[in-house]
């Protein structure tokens, strides 16, 4: 595990997981409060682990294009 940004192999995706999880929760809560289901599109982030987090937060599925 790199100890600093300078140690990363680049290009690299770097996220603040706490912020991502808060954003997922906020989006899900907002949709649910309006009675809407959420099926986010995987092309937005292309990261299966984030799609799983979205499903765990209440998304009814993940949309993808063939």
Return the structure tokens found at 35: 């009675």
Confirm whether pTM is higher than 0.85: no
Torsion of CA 19, 45, 48, 24, to 10 degrees: 30
pLDDT tens per residue, the chain (66 residues)?
767 888 888 898 888 999 999 999 999 999 999 999 999 999 988 899 999 999 999 999 999 987
Whole-number Å distance between alpha carbons of 61 and 38: 7
> Roughly how many angstroms between the first and final C-alpha of the chain, as a whole number?
34
């Amino acid at each position: 595990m790199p100890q600093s940004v300078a140690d990363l192999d680049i290009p690299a995706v770097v996220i603040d997981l706490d912020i991502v999880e808060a954003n997922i929760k906020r989006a899900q809560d907002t949709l649910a409060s309006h009675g809407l289901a959420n099926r986010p599109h995987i092309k937005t982030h292309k990261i299966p682990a984030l799609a799983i987090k979205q499903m765990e937060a209440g998304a009814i599925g993940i949309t993808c294009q063939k």
